[in-house]
């Protein structure tokens, strides 16, 4: 993959234009430049940030490591950015030292809410494009986000050192997209450092200085907050008006809560305490608060003694798009799971959870995520950081079900589906954008239409690359759509999607019955056209997984009272005649009749025994099942 080479560490010397990292706080706003780096996943944001840290001298060569700003172990393991990171750097141009506040943002669609929060703290954005891959779907999505915030866009082509780089070709694509000349697109290499000094000079020249009233009452916007085990909640803010100082009493304008500033400072990139923060500065506040919910992202911080009258426009809370049940394998781990989720929520504002009970799986939590990667990373963190063994149920989206009496039910789990007749079911809809080489248009359209997609439009970004837009149900893309898209396009397609509301659809609830009893863990809400396929697949899978009982067990898939699929698990045949050697045939018949009566009685009162392994295998995706088999080999 072209992106792999960016992970290597490269020695880069400190530029003579760099100053000491001790840039004085509360500086003149005219020398401040606030910007972030936005790009598609794996286009080299973190590697370019590494070169900036080295060139400006804020990180010494002996302390430097690749992806320096990716602090979480899971970020380093996967080579992706999950949390935005803000850092302050000095840069000199024409005898004047400037203070840069740079925010490195995630590239994956599941973490776009992190990007939108970061953009609100900036005046400019570096639009980074891989010179070997060109514009991708998330590049466009982040560009449109930046344009909505009226940011100055500086287009940059990264990875020009790669043998497969085509800077001239992709410079024309970018120029066409944002309306500039191809010569205006900077060429840099985050790996070698080529062109990075020119980029830093261009940031000074083109990104406007922050505006604000230094004499007005203090107003600062919270754009992120994280929980530190030792220092409590660390709140990251961008000061809009006035000044905040050390030991000052501050007030949260949405909640009215007041705190004392125990520490105020900037990240450079390690925390550096200062005497205060002035107009346009980005820094952190520590008040000793232990609950991150008291430092709500999007809130306005002001001075208690001289409070501001108006709050700054905040952010919409991220809405969960996908729900999944998380259950501990060992029921006694339920309190540990609760505590682990509460701790994760301190650092992840998008994580929502509530207790849920399943007759099959016991006590657990219904957890809301922004997408499947968010689910996967959260589960991995729970298992590695808190030593938990978990079962996650099949992901579900949120449905609005209107019952016959007009009552509307919000369904995040098939077990919440109302009994009786329903008049309408509404499901979430997304606008999906696929960017793909022109030769793969046919397979992509075929895939989207098979997933109930409606084509919205198609544009050629260049002679070889096409942007295809579809309106699709979220339920059709959250599970394995991206994998299918990659396999049909030889890995060249990129996907971005954004929720746009809900629409009515012909959906049904498919129940799985064992011995006539409904098993809530295996129920699913699916489109009527897919219901039969789901029923057949689940019935045949359970037939293989559930051990044979002493009586015959029917496995049925049903929509309401109508059975749509059935499999039978044959009874275990016990040889009750093994001790009968010869003798009267009536004795053998008597024993067989007795066994028959016993099995009939068991069928009436007995329940089917389903082992834990069967639940895990049935609820895991085909991909997970394949990994498990490979691991056993």
How would DSSP label each residue in 251-309? EETTT--EEE-SEEEEESSSEEE-SEE-TT-EEEEE-----GGGS-TT-EEEESSS--S
CATH number at residue 421: 3.30.70.240
Tens digit of each residue's pLDDT (9 = 90 or more) over 176-212: 888 888 888 888 887 888 888 888 889 888 988 888 8
Q: What is the mean pLDDT of residues 401-420?
A: 84
Clarify whether residues 458 and 535 are in a common domain: no
What's the CA gap between 541 and 522, in Å, rounded?
A: 11
What's the CA gap between 188 and 202, in Å, rounded?
A: 12
Clarify whether residues 373 and 408 are in a common domain: no
- Who contacts 466 (Cβ-Cβ below 8 Å, separation ≥6)? 435, 436, 437, 438, 441, 458, 459, 460
Q: What is the mean pLDDT of residues 222-248?
A: 82
Clarify whether residues 289 and 343 are in a common domain: no
Question: Any binding-site annotation on 43?
Answer: yes
Question: Any binding-site annotation on 409?
Answer: no
pTM of the model: 0.69
Is 211 contained in some domain?
A: no
Q: What is the pLDDT of residue 161?
A: 85
DSSP summary character for residue 364: E
CATH number at residue 169: 3.40.50.300
Q: What is the mean pLDDT of residues 490-510?
A: 84
- Both structure tokens of 390: 């978990």
Question: Any binding-site annotation on 599?
Answer: no
Beta strands in 139-215 (DSSP E): 152-158, 186-187
Q: Which residues pair with 88 in a beta bridge?
A: 101
CATH number at residue 238: 2.40.30.10
Question: Any binding-site annotation on 193?
Answer: no
Residue scoring higher pLDDT (318 or 195): 195
Clarify whether residues 349 and 462 are in a common domain: no
Is 315 contained in some domain?
A: no
Clarify whether residues 428 and 376 are in a common domain: no
Q: Is the pLDDT of residue 159 over 60?
A: yes
Domain boundary among 154, 171, 206: 206
Clarify whether residues 524 and 429 are in a common domain: no
Beta strands in 180-273 (DSSP E): 186-187, 219-228, 232-241, 244-245, 249-252, 258-260, 263-267, 271-273
Q: What is the pLDDT of residue 619?
A: 60
Q: What is the pLDDT of residue 1?
A: 36
* The total number of structural domains that make up the chain: 5
Q: What is the mean pLDDT of residues 41-66?
A: 75
Q: What is the pLDDT of residue 317?
A: 65
* Inter-residue long-range contacts of 549-553, CB under 8 Å, 24+ positions, other chains counted: 549/606, 549/608, 549/609, 550/574, 550/599, 550/602, 550/606, 551/599, 551/602, 551/603, 551/606, 552/603, 553/514, 553/515, 553/608
Clarify whether residues 59 and 196 are in a common domain: yes
Q: Is the pLDDT of residue 559 over 70?
A: yes
Question: Any binding-site annotation on 46?
Answer: yes
What's the CA gap between 178 and 152, in Å, rounded?
A: 11
Is 260 contained in some domain?
A: yes
Clarify whether residues 354 and 475 are in a common domain: no
Q: What is the mean pLDDT of residues 93-118?
A: 73
Is 516 contained in some domain?
A: yes
Question: Any binding-site annotation on 80?
Answer: no
Q: Is the pLDDT of residue 65 over 70?
A: no
- Residue 101: Cβ-neighbour burial (10 angstroms; 0-12, 13-18, 19+): buried
Clarify whether residues 344 and 477 are in a common domain: no
Q: What is the pLDDT of residue 630?
A: 38
Q: What is the pLDDT of residue 167?
A: 85
Is 429 contained in some domain?
A: yes
Is 308 contained in some domain?
A: no
Q: Is the pLDDT of residue 77 over 60?
A: no
Range of the domain at 202: 2-206
CATH number at residue 626: 3.30.70.2570
Cβ atoms of 509 and 414 closer than 8 Å: yes
Q: Beta-carbon neighbour count of residue 74 at 10 Å? A: 15
Question: Any binding-site annotation on 564?
Answer: no
Q: Where are the alpha helices (DSSP H) in 350-394?
A: 372-385
Q: What is the pLDDT of residue 626?
A: 41
Q: What is the pLDDT of residue 445?
A: 93
Tens digit of each residue's pLDDT (9 = 90 or more) over 533-550: 888 988 888 888 888 777
Q: What is the pLDDT of residue 11?
A: 43
Clarify whether residues 497 and 543 are in a common domain: no
Cα–Cα nearest to 272, from 28, 20, 582: 20
Handedness of CA 182, 183, 185, 187 (dihedral sign): positive
Question: Any binding-site annotation on 104?
Answer: no
Domain boundary among 395, 428, 457: 395
Q: What is the pLDDT of residue 455?
A: 92
Tell me the pLDDT band of 96, cut-offs 50, 70 and 90: confident
Question: Any binding-site annotation on 286?
Answer: no
Question: Any binding-site annotation on 45?
Answer: yes
Q: Beta-carbon neighbour count of residue 316 at 10 Å? A: 8
Q: What is the pLDDT of residue 578?
A: 58
Clarify whether residues 88 and 113 are in a common domain: yes
* Inter-residue long-range contacts of 63-69, CB under 8 Å, 24+ positions, other chains counted: 64/9, 65/9, 66/7, 66/8, 66/9, 67/7, 68/269, 69/104, 69/269
Q: Is the pLDDT of residue 251 over 80?
A: yes
Residue scoring higher pLDDT (291 or 259): 259
- Residue 97: Cβ-neighbour burial (10 angstroms; 0-12, 13-18, 19+): middle
Domain boundary among 274, 303, 332: 303
Is 310 contained in some domain?
A: no
CATH number at residue 383: 3.30.70.870
Is 432 contained in some domain?
A: yes
Considering only 2-11, 381-390, 458-467, 492-501, which range has the smallest mean pLDDT?
2-11
Treating both helix axes as pointing N-terminal to C-terminal, what angle do 45-55 and 196-206 enclose, rounded to 10 degrees? 90
What's the CA gap between 298 and 309, in Å, rounded?
A: 16
Tell me the pLDDT band of 111, cut-offs 50, 70 and 90: low
- Who contacts 408 (Cβ-Cβ below 8 Å, separation ≥6)? 400, 401, 402
Q: What is the pLDDT of residue 13?
A: 57
β-pairing, 186-187 vs 96-104, is unpaired
Q: What is the pLDDT of residue 429?
A: 92
Residue scoring higher pLDDT (426 or 494): 426
Using a pLDDT cut of 90, give the percent of the chain over it.
Answer: 4
Cβ atoms of 369 and 375 closer than 8 Å: yes
Q: Is the pLDDT of residue 513 over 60?
A: yes
Clarify whether residues 350 and 483 are in a common domain: no
């Amino acid at each position: 993959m072209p992106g792999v080479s960016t992970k290597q560490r490269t020695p880069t010397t400190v530029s003579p234009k760099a100053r000491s990292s001790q840039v004085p706080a509360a500086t003149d706003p005219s020398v401040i430049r606030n910007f972030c780096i936005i790009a598609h996943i794996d286009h080299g944001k973190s590697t370019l940030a590494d070169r900036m840290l080295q060139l400006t001298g804020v990180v010494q060569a002996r302390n430097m490591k690749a992806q320096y700003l990716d602090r979480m172990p899971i970020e380093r393991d996967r080579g992706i950015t999950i949390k935005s990171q803000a850092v302050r750097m000095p840069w000199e141009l024409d005898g004047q030292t400037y203070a840069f506040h740079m925010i490195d943002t995630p590239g994956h669609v599941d973490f776009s809410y992190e990007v939108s929060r970061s953009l609100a703290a900036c005046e400019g954005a570096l639009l980074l494009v891989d010179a070997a891959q060109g514009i991708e779907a998330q590049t466009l999505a982040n560009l449109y986000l930046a344009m909505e915030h009226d940011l100055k866009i500086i287009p940059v082509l990264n990875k020009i050192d790669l043998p497969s780089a085509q800077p001239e070709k992709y410079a024309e694509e970018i120029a066409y997209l944002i309306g500039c000349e191809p010569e205006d697109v900077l060429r840099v290499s985050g790996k070698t450092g080529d062109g990075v000094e020119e980029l830093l000079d261009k940031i000074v020249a083109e990104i406007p200085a922050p505006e604000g009233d230094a004499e007005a009452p203090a107003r600062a916007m919270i754009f992120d907050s994280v929980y530190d085990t030792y220092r409590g909640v660390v709140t990251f803010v961008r000061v809009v008006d006035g000044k905040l100082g050390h030991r000052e009493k501050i007030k949260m304008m949405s909640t009215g809560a007041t705190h004392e500033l125990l520490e105020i400072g900037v990240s450079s990139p390690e925390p550096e305490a200062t005497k205060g923060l002035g107009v346009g500065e980005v820094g952190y506040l520590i008040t000793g608060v232990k609950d991150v919910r008291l430092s709500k992202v999007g809130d306005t911080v002001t001075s208690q003694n001289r409070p501001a009258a108006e709050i700054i426009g905040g952010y919409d809370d991220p809405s969960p798009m996908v729900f999944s049940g998380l259950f501990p394998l060992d029921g006694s781990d339920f309190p540990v799971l609760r505590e682990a989720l509460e701790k994760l929520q301190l650092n992840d504002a998008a994580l929502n959870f509530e207790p849920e009970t399943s007759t099959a799986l016991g006590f657990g939590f219904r957890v809301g995520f922004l997408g499947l990667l968010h689910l996967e990373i959260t589960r991995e963190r729970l298992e590695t950081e808190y030593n938990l063994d978990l079962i996650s149920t099949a992901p579900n989206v949120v449905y609005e079900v209107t019952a016959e009496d007009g009552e509307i039910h919000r369904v995040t789990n098939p077990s919440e589906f109302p009994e009786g007749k329903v008049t309408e079911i509404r499901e979430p809809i997304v606008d999906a954008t696929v960017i793909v080489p022109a030769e793969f248009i046919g397979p992509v359209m075929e895939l989207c239409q098979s997933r109930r997609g409606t084509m919205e439009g198609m544009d050629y970004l260049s002679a070889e690359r096409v942007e295809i837009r579809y309106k699709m149900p979220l339920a059709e893309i959250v599970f394995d759509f991206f994998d299918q898209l990659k396999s049909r396009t030889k890995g060249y397609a990129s996907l971005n999607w954004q929720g746009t509301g809900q629409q009515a659809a012909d959906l049904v609830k498919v129940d799985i019955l064992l011995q006539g009893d409904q098993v809530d863990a295996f129920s699913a809400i699916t489109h009527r056209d897919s219901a039969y396929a789901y029923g057949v697949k689940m019935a045949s899978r359970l037939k293989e997984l559930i051990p044979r009982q002493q009586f015959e067990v029917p496995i049925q898939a049903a929509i309401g009272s109508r059975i749509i699929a059935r499999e039978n698990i044959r009874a275990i045949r016990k040889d009750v005649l093994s001790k009968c050697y010869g003798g009267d045939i009536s004795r053998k018949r008597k024993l067989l009749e007795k066994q028959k009566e016993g099995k009939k009685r068991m069928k009436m009162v007995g329940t089917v025994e389903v082992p834990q392994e069967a639940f895990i295998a049935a609820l895991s995706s085909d991909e997970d099942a394949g990994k498990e088999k490979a691991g056993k080999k």
